[in-house]
Amino acid sequence: MKKTVLTGVKPTGNVHIGNYIGAIRPALHMAQAEHESLFFIANYHALTTIQDAKELRDNTYHVTAAWIACGLDPQKTIIYRQSDVPEIFEIAWVLSCYCPKGLMNRAHAYKAKVQLNEQEGKQDLDFGVNMGLYQYPILMASDILSFDTDFVPVGEDQIQHLEIARDIAQKINHTYKSQVLKIPQAVVQKDSKVIPGLDGQKMSKSYDNTIPLFAESKSLRKLVMKIKTDSLPPEAPKQTEGSVIFQLYKEFASQDEIATLAKRFETGIGWGDAKQALFESMDKVLTPLRDKYNALIQNPTELDQILAEGAEKARQKAKHVLERVKTSTGV
């Protein structure tokens, strides 16, 4: 039996270079291994924060097109919208009946909100918390458990959510003295790198320092030219260590090119030239991705069809799990 690997992403905002190198590329790498792979857009999770219909719809298409442009093959990976698989929500209810309320009180996103309210001296510690945010981990557990998932590649911030999914599944299995739900494992990227943004901090939407993955060549060049550097003169030797330009270059250039640029840093290179080299290497790698993205995003009907076909396959799988859950619980 092939093992199942499942990845979910929230459709929030514009995909950037940090997302590509830190999350998309490694996840696609894993999907190519000898696994059955599922990938979904967690649009109901996004609804906890994005409450503008156009924004949510556009973001969902954007993320779908982005992952396919980066190499996700819908023939090999089942790709679907979370909202198109109602079985997930049915199973989520069952899970919630086995989830102690205290477990949700300790979930990090909720706890962080409460702490913030505390710091700000708010009377109501639950200010700004909707039930969707509160129960977020239960729906996420269902995303995973509804497909008999073996492996879930996640960043460190999601480890707690995986633990919650395992806890709930174990509780159900224990109650009914059988393997109703498969216990999933988190696959945490140990050597995960932090890609710096234009200002040298971690590239993040929250810091407004990103390079959008599909920026057109002209604006890509403009952004690269904005990367913060020191004021060393062109002839001065430069450190590759800690240089944003060099760090990004390493992600896009070949080994030989990297060695050549390292030499030029050593012997002195003007920042303008270094940035030009970086821009050229990025543009070379990103142009085919951008072209594919642009073609897809202009054709939402095709995206809808890909997602509908994926949902059909996903539902077949989730139906089996739902049947098992219903039979085991006596519902």
- DSSP secondary structure code for residue 253 in this structure: S
Any contact of residue 125 with ligand ADP (CB under 6 A)? Answer: no
Which CB, 161 or 221, lies closer to ligand TRP? 161
Residue 23 CB, nearest distance to ligand TRP (Å)? 8
Q: Which stretch binds ligand ADP (CB under 6 A): 12-20, 38-46, 124-132, 164-172?
A: 12-20
| Nearest CA-CA partner of 260 in 248, 246, 270, 272 | 246
Tell me the per-residue interface mask from 144 to 183 with ligand ADP, x by CB under 6 A, - otherwise. -----------x----------------------------
Active site residue 202: yes
Residue 154 CB, nearest distance to ligand TRP (Å)? 6
Which CB, 19 or 243, lies closer to ligand ADP? 19
Residue 164 CB, nearest distance to ligand ADP (Å)? 18
Q: Which stretch binds ligand ADP (CB under 6 A): 50-58, 204-212, 241-249, 287-295?
A: 204-212
Q: From the list ligand ADP, ligand TRP, none, which binds 152 (C-beta under 5 to 8 Å, kind-based)?
A: ligand TRP
Q: From the list ligand ADP, ligand TRP, none, which binds 144 (C-beta under 5 to 8 Å, kind-based)?
A: ligand TRP
Q: From the list ligand TRP, ligand ADP, none, which binds 23 (C-beta under 5 to 8 Å, kind-based)?
A: ligand ADP
Q: From the list ligand ADP, ligand TRP, none, which binds 204 (C-beta under 5 to 8 Å, kind-based)?
A: ligand ADP
Q: Which sign, positive or negative, has the C-alpha torsion 196, 240, 283, 218?
A: positive
Among 3, 182, 205, 313, the active-site one is: 205
| CB closest to ligand TRP, residue no | 8
User: Could you report how far apart the first and last alpha carbons of the chain are, in Å?
Assistant: 29
Q: From the list ligand TRP, ligand ADP, none, which binds 286 (C-beta under 5 to 8 Å, kind-based)?
A: none
Main-chain phi, psi angles of 208, to 5 degrees: 55, 40
| Nearest CA-CA partner of 233 in 182, 191, 202, 273 | 273
SS3 content of the chain, % helix, strand, coil (to 5): 60, 10, 30
**Sites of contact with ligand TRP (CB under 6 A):** 6-10, 42, 45, 140, 143-144, 152, 154, 158, 161
| Nearest CA-CA partner of 47 in 132, 142, 141, 135 | 132
Interaction residues for ligand ADP, span 179-198 (CB under 6 A): 194-195
Q: From the list ligand TRP, ligand ADP, none, which binds 137 (C-beta under 5 to 8 Å, kind-based)?
A: none
Q: What is the rounded distance in angstroms from the CA atom of residue 207 to the CA atom of residue 197?
A: 9
| Nearest CA-CA partner of 327 in 176, 184, 143 | 176
Q: Where are the beta strands (DSSP E) in the chain?
A: 3-9, 35-41, 77-81, 151-154, 185-188
**Sheet of strand 35-41, all strands in order from the earlier edge strand to the far edge:** 77-81, 35-41, 3-9, 151-154, 185-188
Q: What is the rounded distance in angstroms from the CA atom of residue 313 to the CA atom of residue 196?
A: 38
Count of residues touching ligand ADP (by CB under 6 A): 14
Q: What is the rounded distance in angstroms from the CA atom of residue 138 to the CA atom of residue 142?
A: 6
Active site residue 113: yes
| Interacting residues toward ligand ADP by CB under 6 A | 12, 18-19, 21-23, 155, 194-195, 202-206
Residues taking part in catalysis:
113, 202, 205
